[in-house]
Chain A
Amino acid sequence: MAQIELQGIDRRFILGDSIVSALRNISVAIEAGEYVAIMGPSGSGKSTLLNVLGLLDPPDAGTYRLDGRDVTTLGSNEQARIRRERIGFVFQSFHLVPRLSARENIALPMVLAGIPPKDRQARVGRALEDYGLADRADHRPDQLSGGQRQRVAIARATIMRPEVILADEPTGNLDRATGQDVTQILEALNAQGVTLLVVTHDQELGSRARRCLRMEDGAVVEDLRRGPSSSGLR
């Protein structure tokens, strides 16, 4: 049984009197621990697919099974719980809370999950070390560089130790060197067994993944698997 199973997923948007099909009959299975790049031209539905996988956007048709359990029919509180405990998001524009320090931003998912402050402190401290942010712990996002911000965002996405990380163009706002940095961090997480799905426009980055889904006009037109040798790590 695959960790993620999409079957006949449709997602349509109504714009005025025209209907945009952002996703058409998508059926994909992804195993736990896979590293998947999602590529394709702008408007092809990559972000929409990621939002459906992250339970932020409900599909109009089809079923989505996570660990064998149909999650599309769950109530919104149950879906929130899955997002909280099993899925980590990384965004192109970081989405840090501007008034909170790096430390507080990283702790946010644990605060929402009701984890007591003592446990939070230890875990945030370790994350700050791991991501080289120890000396930036009390800086607010506007006092951090782009790369540092994305590292804070990744630390936040992983602090609940999710099984799946969904990253939508995580390097899109970064220069080449810091982008590679961030990619390596994500790949290291994948090496520890986290399932990693990355939307990217970067051919080179895409080719580092062991599997590449190519989308066009809302459909998966290519599902390319490579041998483990071509992977950047491991």
Chain B
Amino acid sequence: MSPRDTLTFAADAARGTPVRTALMVLAMAIGVAAVVVLTALGEGARRYVMGEFSALGSNLVVVLPGRTNTGGIGAGSLVTSTPRDLTVEDAQALLRAPLVSRVAPLAVGNSEIAYGGQLRDTLVLGTTADFAPIRRYRVAEGRFLPAEDPRHGAPVVVIGDTIRRDLFGTRSALGQLVRIGDRRFRVIGTLPASSSGLGVNADEAVIVPVALAQSLFNSNTLFRILVEVRHREAIPQGRSQVLQILQQRHDGEEDVTLISQDAVLGTFDRILTALTFGVAGIAAISLAVAGILVMNVMLVSVTQRTAEVGLLKALGAPDGTIRILFLSEAALLSLAGAAAGLILGYFGAWGLRAAYPALPAWPPSWAVLAGTFTALVTGLVFGVIPAGRAAQLNPVTALAKH
């Protein structure tokens, strides 16, 4: 019997009992749809979290002065006790590393800002133009710090939203002269409300060129150096390049600490992926239930079609052919169920996205494949017993059934 004839015969047989077939297809469809929707949910949650993290700059490496790492004692650390300061020159040197795309030195201190007789405490961030793209900062009005030699900055300032409201109210701050500490700065830009990132709220801060911040605080050290590597996968290599350059500049001593988000991110990624697999597994249980249903319905079908099986045997169908006929029927039902389930599942995922636009609830392709494959395997596995029973029927007694 040719494969095509086998499928035609099996499809005809399935169509012969439309209600039963529809129920079985529905059961399978619900199982597959559950897999698709739940994995879409899990995967959506994972992508949402990852997206939020990368909004903070996921390919960011932060350099801190001093060695706080407990892992391993280098040869140098036995000799010195106090770490060297980080300098603007250190930051600039990091641009030599091939995997580093941007660098922003960061000096931080507290000061006060005055305008038109009003005085406020403020956090002063001294940095360079690249700080904005690295931290994904945008300006509300005006512009960010200009790109210039970080050792001599122009006296300009970008102010946070709260500072702007407190000092200027509804008037425009752009172009106005303010006093910070004992120096005068011209406001060239303002930040939008709640420009935050990594727990630092810039609403109450002002951003000035790093050289000016350092002279305000009368120091030439840096609080941090923010390093952006070219892409997330380059973080480990980028780290070692950064470390190597700083070590060279610090007389061979490894006296800095590097923090990157990839470790945290990796953990989240793993947890949420595991979660997705978990819900997929739970959904797969409904597929198994569907499989048991397929088995029972197929068993009923074999009983009802006993005379037909007897006839097929009398007409010369070998046991193997009978087995394949019933297995094909189970496979076709499963495939139909899987197809219907995919449609249902994609529709459900679409509904999720419509209801929660922030959630990128797209079913992952592995889940779609696995769901379909599991439906097919379930149908076949649970079809084995009914098909075997049909193949083992005694033709004489089968023909006597009516």
Contacts and interface: CB of A to CB of B under 8 A. Distances in A.
Interface of A: 51, 54, 56-57, 76-77, 80-85, 87, 89, 91, 93, 95, 97-100, 108-109, 111-114, 116, 156
Nearest to B311: A95
Contacts of B318: 76-77, 80-81
A80 B320 CA distance: 11
A37 to B, nearest CB: 21
A11 B267 CA distance: 74
Listed residue (A56, A76, A80, A89) with the most chain B CB atoms within 10 angstroms of its CB: A80
B399 A95 contact: yes
Given A81-B316, A109-B315, A112-B316, A95 B307 contact: yes
The 6 A-B pairs with the shortest beta carbon distances in the complex, nearest first, are A84-B316, A83-B316, A99-B16, A80-B318, A56-B395, A77-B318
Interface string B315-345: 1111111000000000000000000000000
A114 B318 CA distance: 12
Contact of A80 (B12, B13, B316): B316
Interface residues of B, number: 26
Given A57-B396, A91-B399, A95-B307, A111 B12 contact: no
A109 B399 contact: no
B402 A83 contact: no
Contacts of B311: 95, 97
Nearest to B17: A99
A77 B320 contact: yes
A82 B308 CA distance: 19
Given A57-B396, A77-B320, A99 B12 contact: yes
A98 B311 CA distance: 12
B308 A89 contact: no
28 contacts: A51-B396, A54-B314, A57-B395, A57-B396, A76-B319, A77-B319, A77-B320, A80-B317, A81-B318, A82-B316, A83-B316, A84-B317, A87-B316, A89-B315, A95-B307, A95-B314, A97-B311, A98-B16, A99-B15, A100-B12, A109-B316, A111-B1, A112-B312, A112-B317, A112-B321, A113-B1, A114-B2, A156-B315
B79 to A, nearest CB: 86
B5 interface: yes
A33 B13 CA distance: 38
Q: In terms of DSSP, what is the predominant structure of the interface of chain B?
A: helix
A89 B317 CA distance: 13
Nearest to A111: B5
A108 B9 CA distance: 10
Contacts of A114: 1-2, 5
A85 B315 CA distance: 9
A120 to B, nearest CB: 9
Given A54-B314, A56-B314, A114-B5, 20 more contacts: A57-B396, A76-B318, A77-B319, A80-B313, A80-B316, A80-B318, A80-B319, A81-B316, A84-B315, A84-B316, A87-B316, A95-B399, A98-B16, A99-B13, A99-B15, A108-B315, A111-B1, A111-B9, A113-B316, A114-B2
Nearest to B400: A47
Given A97-B308, A99-B13, A83 B314 contact: yes
